[in-house]
């Protein structure tokens, strides 16, 4: 009996040693020194985001389905648009850092969309998330599991490539979501699958998501011109240079002009529009801001859709109905409204004066 207990004790000791050894080995291979999934050796100046499953751009619901897609390979392209490959939808967006003579003035652009500017906040957020990704403990290292997670070379929910010039710094495939704010990820060329804290909707292939919606906002305005009036700021005061009228309320004019300037400094578009209505613009605005080229904008409305077009461009931007109505109200304003309002205020003030005793 004593010998039996000794054997059992020896087996337990051996199991404990093996368990501790295996635990230490795998911990050393993963958690102790996790490696970065994106090289930080060089600064990222180009990002290519691709979708190749036909899912919606904002899809981010948990999904553990077993996919059954056909295996076919499509060549990578920098052209915009959609390509169908055996029923699968492929979309791609490219973001590129435009270099200038002054490095601190470099800005991100959409080269597929006339090099329009990208919202810097979105780029900063995306890069911070991607460059902080670490390869921890894989949930799978089996090639056969890639299809289950939507992580094959031919079918994935996102593929993100990061470059410095033409040097590839990272190539990541994003698949289904196991839970809230989590995705399965596989580095291209590897069989290992990781669970990471990312969202699909932070990496869409939609240009409108990345577009700087305030690209037409005018800070430090010096001149505002419409068909009915022209306001010019001289030595800190607004002057009416077109549509001049007698008995103008100067204080009311300054207030109104500052309201217009504030409105235009926050001008926000809803998205890009490659095509515009084949009609004459409903209204036009001409704006001049300090240190900027003059900007002429045309306003269009058709079938309850609203557009804004810069004069020299052959494309335009979509507007929300609220933004469009506000710009129309500005364009329709007439200086004589100031005198009418002034007389109305004078009448109201006089009616409040106490009667003088006779």
3-state secondary structure of 313: coil
| pLDDT, tens digit (0-9, with 9 covering 90-100), for 84-111 | 444 567 899 999 999 877 777 789 999 9
The average pLDDT across 282-286 equals 96
Whether the pLDDT of residue 239 is over 80: the answer is yes
Question: What is the percent of the chain with per-residue pLDDT over 70, rounded to a whole number?
Answer: 74
pLDDT, residue 75, reads: 35
DSSP secondary structure string, 243-305? S--SS--HHHHHHHHHHHHHHHHT----EEES---SS--SEEEEEEETTS--EEEEEEEETTE
| pLDDT, tens digit (0-9, with 9 covering 90-100), for 131-154 | 999 988 999 999 999 999 999 999
pLDDT, residue 350, reads: 47
| pLDDT, tens digit (0-9, with 9 covering 90-100), for 46-91 | 999 999 864 444 444 444 433 333 333 333 333 333 344 445 678 9
pLDDT, residue 72, reads: 32
Is residue 185 within a helix (H) or strand (E), and if so which, with residue range? strand 183-187
Contact between residue 320 and residue 267 where contact means Cβ atoms under 8 Å apart: no
Q: Which residues sit opposite 117 in a β-bridge? A: 109
Residue 282: φ, ψ to 5°: -75, -35
pLDDT, residue 22, reads: 52
pTM above threshold 0.85:
no
pLDDT, residue 84, reads: 42
pLDDT, residue 235, reads: 92
- Structural domain boundaries of the chain? 37-67+77-210, 221-347
Whether the pLDDT of residue 291 is over 70: the answer is yes
Contact between residue 106 and residue 99 where contact means Cβ atoms under 8 Å apart: yes
């Amino acid at each position: 009996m004593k010998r039996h207990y000794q054997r059992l004790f020896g087996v337990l000791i051996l199991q404990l040693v093996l368990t501790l050894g295996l635990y230490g080995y795998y911990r050393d291979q993963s958690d102790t020194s996790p490696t970065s999934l994106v090289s930080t050796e060089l600064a990222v100046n180009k990002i290519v985001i691709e979708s190749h499953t036909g899912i919606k751009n904002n899809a981010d619901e948990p999904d553990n389905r077993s996919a059954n897609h056909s295996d076919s390979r499509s060549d990578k392209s920098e052209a915009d648009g959609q390509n169908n490959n055996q029923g699968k939808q492929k979309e791609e967006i490219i973001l590129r850092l435009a270099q200038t003579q002054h490095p601190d003035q470099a800005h991100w652009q959409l080269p597929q969309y006339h090099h329009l500017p990208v919202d810097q906040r979105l780029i900063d957020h995306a890069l911070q998330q991607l460059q902080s990704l670490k390869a921890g403990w894989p949930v799978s290292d089996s090639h056969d599991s890639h299809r289950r997670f939507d992580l094959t070379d031919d079918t994935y929910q996102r593929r993100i490539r990061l470059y410095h010039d033409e040097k590839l710094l990272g190539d990541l495939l994003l698949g289904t979501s196991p839970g809230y704010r989590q995705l399965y990820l596989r580095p291209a060329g590897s069989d290992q699958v990781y669970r990471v804290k990312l969202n699909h909707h932070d990496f869409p292939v939609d240009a409108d998501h990345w577009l700087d919606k305030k690209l037409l906002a005018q800070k430090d305005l010096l001149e505002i011109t419409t068909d009915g009036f022209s306001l010019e700021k001289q030595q800190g005061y607004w002057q009416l240079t077109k549509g001049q009228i007698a008995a103008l309320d100067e204080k009311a004019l300054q207030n109104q002009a500052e309201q217009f300037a504030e409105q235009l400094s926050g001008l926000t578009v809803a998205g890009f529009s490659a095509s515009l209505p084949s009609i004459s613009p409903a209204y036009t605005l001409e704006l001049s801001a300090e240190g900027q080229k003059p900007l002429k904008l045309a306003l269009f409305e058709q079938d309850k859709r609203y557009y804004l077009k810069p004069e020299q461009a052959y494309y335009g931007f979509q507007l929300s109905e609220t933004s469009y109505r506000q710009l129309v109200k500005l364009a329709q304003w007439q200086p004589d409204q100031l005198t009418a309002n002034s007389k109305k205020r004078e009448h109201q003030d006089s009616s409040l004066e106490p009667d003088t005793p006779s």
